[in-house]
Structures are given as structure tokens and as C-alpha cells.
Amino acid sequence: MRIAIVTASRFWVCDLARELDACGHDVALYSLVPPWRTRRFGLPDHCNHWLGPYLAPVYAVYRAARRAGAASTANRLLYTAVDRLAARVVGPCEVMIGMSQMSAASMRSVRRRYGARTVLERGSRHIESQRQILAALAGAGTKTVPSWAVRRELAEYEIADLIAVPSKHVERSFVERGVPPDKLFRNPYGVDLDMFPATAMPPAGSRPTIIMVGTWSLRKGCDVLTAAWRRLAPRGVRLLHVGPLGDAPIPTDPGFEHCGPVDQRALTRYYAEAHVFALASREEGLALVQVQALASGLPVAATDRTGADDLTECLEDPRAIAIAPTDDAGALAQALEAQLAYARSMTGVRDLLRSARARLSWREYGRRYDAMLRAA
């Protein structure tokens, strides 16, 4: 099957391109990710149709706009340019898979020229649901969803033959807004299992440590995580944050430690020194850091808007994930306490996934996609 995939950046569809190629499809990835980067994550050169040479001036303006603090304007410029270019250069295909906010014109084009089926990749909740959630935080300085993004996504939802989403809560947000269930394809993301091997339990007597990886922001519920952790801190529990700082207040309490962004390949060292992974997001499709943590052997405590619920289907022991309602610091504290107790029962190498490990791989993600495409 000839499959075209359109994206501006290094999103998960780059991994999808590699896996669909491995399944025997004729895959063409149209993106701004150059060949020397796609080689690093295993995409064969014959799949890469680099758009960089065509869009170099646009990309320069995009970078300048972001440096000037105009991220929304920059994104609109880049996504529109990628979409319009793809509408002209995407070759004959039977299926086109495009990232949301950058695929309306190209989906229309491949349907008109080739009769292709179109799949829209949406990694977050329905755009109107996402906008509502983030707007409630806007008084604290959280960035809201711009009107142009809403208009573009709503148009794409109508154009696409199928909308691919990563989790149940995202799926529900679409159904609640009138999208037919048979227009949705739910497929949880995978992880590079070689990059995140099972780690050894921290030494006996080491301080109980909760780790959160990602932007320290209100969107990720870091204010709720702080409140939950403070209920456990008197017992000597440490909270370690790895990632950039955002709009959430930074705790100054003893026991909180911040580490800036690190290369993804270095994350396993931080997972190895922690006991439990926590994520209190108010809105996140399926956070890949949860999959990384599980693969590394950490029990997870997360809210019901992180995609954690979908990951329980891939586990032999459901105790590895504890889920709390969004915005409930008390429930999250109880989940963290339960996961710390679960972690204390572990010894040696923390192979939480055991025989279920392969279910969380990118290979399985691609195989589920392949099965859907062949069955349609």
C-alpha cells in the first residue's frame, strides 16, 4: 500500500513511518525532519521526502517569530506552509496520514488527485475540549488555543475519513462533540524499549523519590502534584522534576529538586534513581514519559487525562498504574502513597512489564495501524 505521511516536526508519525515501512508498505514521509535526523531513529532514506529545501525561508521566519515570543503566529505560518506545499508535492498514494492543524489542503488534494483515504493524527483532546480546559487556566498566564487552530482543526475533522487518537479520554472528547465513534481509531503510542530498559531498584535506605518529567506547567497539573506531594513530604519523600520550567509555581520546600531539560537518551539515569513516576496533567492525550517510566520499571500515579488508563491494558500487573481524578490533590496523594508502597515491595531489576513488554513497543503500535489499514 502506498502511504504518504505529512508532518512539520519530529512527531510520533515519524516512528509510524518506520514501522509501516517495516510492515511492507511503500511509505513516503513528507516533513521538515532532515535525513541525518531520520536515520538516527531508523527511518530508511527511501522513505524521507525532505521539505526543508523548499521551506527554508519560511522556517527562518518561523524561528525568528518564536524567539520574539510570537509562538502562535509562528506555528500558523509554518503549518500553513507545510500543508500548502504538501498539497502540491505529495505523490500518488492510497492513504495519506497527516498531523492535525497542517493537513486540510493536502488531504483535499490527495483525495481529488488520487482518490486516497485520509487519516488525521490528533494527539490531544478534541480542540474545543482542549481550548475549554486551558481557557480555565488562562488567568494564571497559561497559553490558550488560538482561534485559527480551532477553525483549522474543525475543518480537518470534517475532511478526514478517519481520526487517529491515542487514548480513551481523547476518544470520549470527540464522541461528546458529535464525532461518530466509527470515525475514530484509538491506538496508544509506543516507546523505544532499547532506550528505556528495566532498571535496578534504588539502593535500600535511599530516600523515596517521586519523579515528574516534562514542562513544569499548569497544563500538566504541577500545582496539584505539588499539593499532593506536600502531604507525603513530612515522611521524607522527595520530588524530582526533570524538564523545562513553565507557568506553574516552583516549590521552595526542602525535598523538591529541579533539573533542567536533558537529552531523551539521558533520562534513563533519572528514572533509575526514582521509585515512582507521577503525572497530574489536566489535558494530555497520552504522555510518552509514562511509557518510558513503565519500561524503566517505575510504578505510575497519574490523572485520568494522561492516557494512563489505556496503558493498563498492556500490563500483566494492573497495580503498576494508579489513576486519580484530575484536579484532586487528595486522590493523587493516595495514589502516590500506594505506588510508593508497591515500589518498596520490588527488589533487583524492576522488570514491571515482563512478557507484556513488547506490547508497549513502537513495533506493536505500527502493527495495530497496519491491521487497521488493511482491514478498511
Cα 301 from Cα 314, distance rounded (Å)? 16
- Average pLDDT over every residue of 250-271: 93
| Angle between the N-to-C axes of helices 362-375 and 13-22, in degrees from 0 to 180, rounded to the nearest 10 | 70
Cα 109 from Cα 113, distance rounded (Å)? 6
256 neighbors 241 (Cβ within 8 angstroms): yes
What per-residue confidence (pLDDT) applies to 265? Answer: 85
- Average pLDDT over every residue of 87-103: 98
- Average pLDDT over every residue of 47-57: 96
Helix, strand, or coil (residue 31): strand
Helix, strand, or coil (residue 175): helix
Cα 320 from Cα 284, distance rounded (Å)? 20
- Average pLDDT over every residue of 263-290: 94
What per-residue confidence (pLDDT) applies to 355? Answer: 82
- Average pLDDT over every residue of 15-33: 97
Query: Which has the closest alpha carbon to 259: 213, 320, 291, 227?
Result: 213
Q: Which helix (H) or strand (E) holds 250?
A: none
Calculate ∠ Cα 141-142-148, nearest 5°: 115
Cell 490531544 appears where? 124
Three cell numbers, residue 150: 480551532
Cα 166 from Cα 124, distance rounded (Å)? 8
> 109 pLDDT band (50/70/90 cuts)?
very high
Give 335-373 pLDDT, tens digit per residue: 999 999 999 988 889 988 888 888 889 999 999 999 999
Cα 84 from Cα 104, distance rounded (Å)? 9
**CB atoms closer than 10 angstroms to residue 332:** 28
More confident site: 287 or 144: 287
Which has the minimum average pLDDT: 204-218, 277-291, 343-357? 343-357
What per-residue confidence (pLDDT) applies to 357? Answer: 86
- Average pLDDT over every residue of 40-68: 95
Which of left, alpha, beta for 134 (phi over 0: left; psi -120 to 50: alpha)? alpha
Q: Which domains are present in the chain?
A: 2-190+362-375 (3.40.50.2000), 209-359 (3.40.50.2000)
Q: Which helix (H) or strand (E) holds 186?
A: strand 184-186
pTM above 0.75, yes or no: yes
Please provide the average confidence, as pLDDT, over all residues in the chain.
Answer: 94
What per-residue confidence (pLDDT) applies to 228? Answer: 98
Classify burial at 2, counting beta carbons within 10 Å of its beta carbon; exposed 0-12, middle 13-18, buried 19 or more.
Answer: middle
Q: What percent of the chain has pLDDT above 90? A: 86
- Average pLDDT over every residue of 195-212: 93
Give 138-194 pLDDT, tens digit per residue: 655 567 899 999 999 999 999 999 999 999 999 999 999 999 999 999 999 998 988
Which has the minimum average pLDDT: 86-95, 153-162, 308-317, 335-344? 308-317
